Structure 1
Amino acid sequence: MGTRKMDKSFLDWPFFEARHRELAAALEDWSVKHLPADHGDTDAACKGLVAALGQAGFLRHSGANEGERLDVRSLCLIRETLARHDPLADFAFAMQGLGMGAVTLFGTPGQRKWLERTRAGQAISAFALTEPGAGSDVASTATTAERTPGGWRLSGEKTYISNGGIADLYVIFARTGEAPGARGLSAFLMPADSTGLSVAERIEVIAPHPLARLKLAGVELPEAALIGQPGEGFKIAMSVLDVFRPTVGAAALGMARRALDEALARVALPRAGGGTLADYQIVQGHLADMALKVDAAALLIYRAAWTKDQGATRITREAAMAKLYATEAAQEVIDTALQLHGGDGVRCGSTVEALYRDIRALRIYEGASDVQRVVIARSVLA
């Protein structure tokens, strides 16, 4: 096992203020004492992590009071730190923010009452966008929301919904038909106990966390469930992803930092024939590449976060670059760390083996890597 000592040098970069350094230090101290969680029961672990993060006060950063902006640098620092200690803790924190991102940015005072509970760790939220036939292509959303005398009736399916099955409420996107494609979607706040909502399937993946396919069979919601205006769903979804895509990169960065630490500890071990693996120039070359990728990812992530915190309306290009590079680079860093561990790297239960499974989904969710390439290319061409 490697050390869990945090590389703090990046906190001296001009992207950060004193409050960010204080937050990082406080969370590092908390993480050393409380992480990793017991993953034996994934649902129970996530519920416990949400409660613990709420009680410790860190979930207050997952949303913002009315009239205030989310501090994206804080979000990134928290995700990076948690992911380095326990990727499931990062997941638990991230979903409180992503799940309620639409309410933070566009919610009414009535809807924001839920935000008070999610920021305290007293309710679990989820972001229900993906469908069986519409993953990265949000404009192809088929779930419908029809007007009723008292509000809306939702019908359809959502899949690969994080926190599905344990969430207390979902922000759900459905077609209301104001215009074709992306311009005809709306966002709704849907409590988990809504009649007609059911968990059709729990989905098991290589790095276990709560995932589900949801069935909406004529779910009745009041008019007050609508977030923003009819037809604004795509804008709302993209605004939320604009904020949270850099934080996905930050989670990947945390895992990459942990993998580099594990690799450094491994190559420093004495060998039976004398010396260490670190004595070999080829190993030094691998370590140099890993360190370079970690720092390059951090620069892209905190540039995007700083830009948003300075008041930029959109950071689509910066967010896409941060997520794409950081997640792809982390996969490579973790793969190299595993290789340097030899046979022990693929032993079930080892740190690098767990990281190898944990990192893979980050290149898919919140916009797969190829989608980020399209976003960046369109920005360059424009």
Structure 2
Amino acid sequence: MNHFKQLFVSFILLILTINTFAQTAENIISKEALKIGDTFVPPSAIQQMRGTGKPLDLQKLAGKVVILDFFDTYCGTCIQSMPKLQKLQDKLKDKVQIISVTWQDKATIDKFFAGNSYLKENKVNLPVIYADVYLKQRFPHQSVPHVVFLYKGKVKAITNYKSVTEENILELYKTELIELPLKDDFGKGDLMGKKMEETESVKYGVWIAGYQNGAPFESLKIKKDSLTNMIKTSFYNASISSAVKFIWAKISPADYVPRPERLVLKVKNLDQYQDVEAKGGVWSREHALSYERLDKISRPDSVQARLVLNDLHSFLGIRSYKVMKKIPCLILQPCPVQPTPKDTLAKGMVYENSAVLAVMTDLGGKFPPVLDRVNSKEKIQIASYETLAEFNAQLAAYGIEAVLGEEEMEVLVIEEIE
């Protein structure tokens, strides 16, 4: 089990790294970097593919809202957001031009779009600027998606993908003004207002604040300051529910995927606790939470995390705890072995055992949370599938069937105190 936990944690860290830091950028921001309000000078030439096939002239798009959506083929969030961007482009084509921008070469992008059935099904065909250097220098970033709003030759917003909404596009088009959360991958949260080494008045304490414009999202970090020897514990721009989840992950790590179905909110206003993607950047400004704590005493991470949790409980008037609760789930259970054609299995992905299969199936999100009742140590090879019946047809070769049901599973409860 310990080996599985290590494998699971390593895999989650890999996924987070791919999604959050899908594109590595230089640590030093280029001199050509633009800020909000600056004049944007289009490149003299671009390498373009897809879209209508007509050459893009960024200079002639000054009458439209231009949205640069920086992406790469490793970024799952980028791919998931593309159908939404295509729908906005189709609906508002007279007012907006959405352009995908990547540093990757044409061969890589050709292969990516040719092999992605999800994007084909959703008829994604936005123009793509590939092998880009110029735009990346003007809008440096470390993570994708990274979004820039341009209008009438000016930089109007440098923000996150959630801010690309019909409401925001129309507001900018009509008023020439828009205020969106700043995405600055080189920014840094600082709730104290000045560095610890610049004052002797700050000895220790707790600071809780809302959204920090320009500071990237950061989960719980516990770090010793080399100059003051103080222990700084912090997180920035997180929803209450995500903050509670990553704090609990330090207190008692789980060996399962923390799916939304395993979060129970006993609160009056759900929007206040969970990031509402449909509201774009507006939600972050209203509800995101940032936190800093300074301590003289160094403690184990699990103990320090418990103190952070107690701070949130006290200041927010909530409590959180883990319990077993009956919820809808997909149960992997034994069944009679039924042979499966070898040519089908030869095309599949190999899972080390049923526990790894359960985790990977959980991450796929096609079914409710997965409960492994097989506990098989046998390697399992499964090809791609779309339905539960197709999944079961392959599982049968290993004496496993997946059935929908309700079972007790661990959930995290966040509850407001009356």
Return the structure number with greater relative CO, CA threshold 8 A, min gap 6. Answer: 1
| Structure with greater helix share of residues | 1
TM range (shorter): under 0.3
| Structure with greater strand share of residues | 2
State the TM-score, normalizing by the size of structure 1: 0.25
